[in-house]
Structure 1
Amino acid sequence: MKSWRFKEIVVMAALAVVFGVVYLAFLPVGGVLAGLMGPIGYDFIFGIWFIVSIIAAYIIQKPGAAFLSETIAAMIEVLLGNAVGPMLIVSGMIQGIGAEAVFAATRWRNYSTWVLMAAGMGSAVTSFIYGYFMSGFAALATGYVAAMFVVRLLSGALIAGLLGKALSEGLASTGVLSSFALGKQQRKKNAA
């Protein structure tokens, strides 16, 4: 297992704090969408709640980055006043496990667009299974639940995966990540 450098821990924690705030800020947006469309409304933007795991993993490229960043972001969200309370930390851990499992399947060596999208979908799968049992999805029509799952998968792939990739690469292009795995890859790519 690759050892973590202090600055990687700091950046991962900073990202988690920033996205803990972002996650809390998106709750009213999800509430409006759910008010307009029913429970599926949240699924359209659910990928936003997975994005830090993709960004941290892509920047740092070490085991645990996805899981830890998502867990810390959930803790920050709870500390800032999310009404769900401490159970939200469990939810963050479950989302982080979904992304981390995809990176683990590549032995933390592949951070291609497809893998980043699959990691977002991994978070969608684990969060949906958890939500199915904790949020009473079984009471909904099977077709509606299936539609919720598909929408959440797409949100994980597009918002967490693609948007997370774009944000990470945008940050790397500024040069502030030059000593991180992603920054080094960007430098090589630009030099070629």
Structure 2
Amino acid sequence: MHASASASASASAEQAGTGQASPGQTGTGGRRLRWRVVDIVVASVVGVAVGVVFWAWGVIWGPISAPIEALLPGLQAAPAALWLVAGVIGGLIVRKPGAAITTELVAAVVSALIGSQWGGLLTIEAGLVQGLGAELVFALFLYRRWNLPVALLAGAGAGLAMAINDLVLWYAGAAPAFTAIYTVSAIVGGALIAGGLGWLAVRGLARAGALQRFAAGRETARGAV
């Protein structure tokens, strides 16, 4: 009995070390994947906070993107990846189906309500598509792995979704070279900015004690990830 308990504890520790959910967390009826009130609240709060950042980034976007685009047309997609970070952060914290989409969408709505130069509907549509890009990566891992590599892949997925959306809506008929540069820049920027910075942001919140009711906070407290 003691040996069994020890083996179980060891397995749980190993899974925590890779950011993987313990089988015991699934519960009957998939309790692990059910949203709690605190999940809804935190996803909304994160979405609102990041939405203000999105709006501010849009205000200064022109002076930032113009020289980058002049240097190499299409490269401006890399810094645009900051608009993808909400979905990655929401997914890493809440760890439930729909968390990435919800958080990114809330951020887009807030940005649109404050005032977006790209218009309200297109801003919200972009948030939905970009959140879906990150969500699909988390779903690919069955909402069980939450380490840095998965965060980077989620950011890259959001970047690919952003590139496809932008090339269809804003750059239709663009030259193949521009399309390739824009797509690669969006994917790399998404991985590094949305994925990497998003993962670091969640780690920072956890270390500050703001995520004690979430697995991300408990794992960081144990030094598991």
TM-score greater than 0.5 by the shorter chain: yes
CA distance in 1, matches of 2:75, 2:112: 22
- Tell me what 2:197 maps to: 163
Structure 2: which 5+ runs fail to align? Answer: 1-29
Query: Tell me, what secondary structure is at the counterpart of 1:143?
Result: helix
**Count of paired positions:** 190
Query: Tell me, what secondary structure is at the counterpart of 1:80?
Result: helix
Q: Larger Rg: 1 or 2?
A: 2
CA RMSD of aligned residues (A): 1.7
Does the Cα contact within 8 Å between 2:162 and 2:186 map onto a contact in 1?
no
Q: Show the 5 A alignment for 1:1-192.
A: 1=30, 2-38=33-69, 40=74, 42-83=76-117, 84-139=119-174, 141-189=175-223
CA distance in 1, matches of 2:149, 2:80: 19
Tell me the TM-score normalised to structure 1 length: 0.92
- Tell me what 2:20 maps to: none
Shift of 1:40: 2.9
CA distance in 2, matches of 1:48, 1:168: 15
Tell me the TM-score normalised to structure 2 length: 0.79
Extract structure 1 runs of 4+ deviating beyond 6 A: none
Identity of aligned residues (%): 33
Structure 1: which 5+ runs fail to align? Answer: none
Does the Cα contact within 8 Å between 1:35 and 1:41 map onto a contact in 2?
no
Shift of 1:137: 4.3
Q: Residue 50 of structure 1 aligns to which amino acid in structure 2? A: L
CA distance in 2, matches of 1:129, 1:60: 27
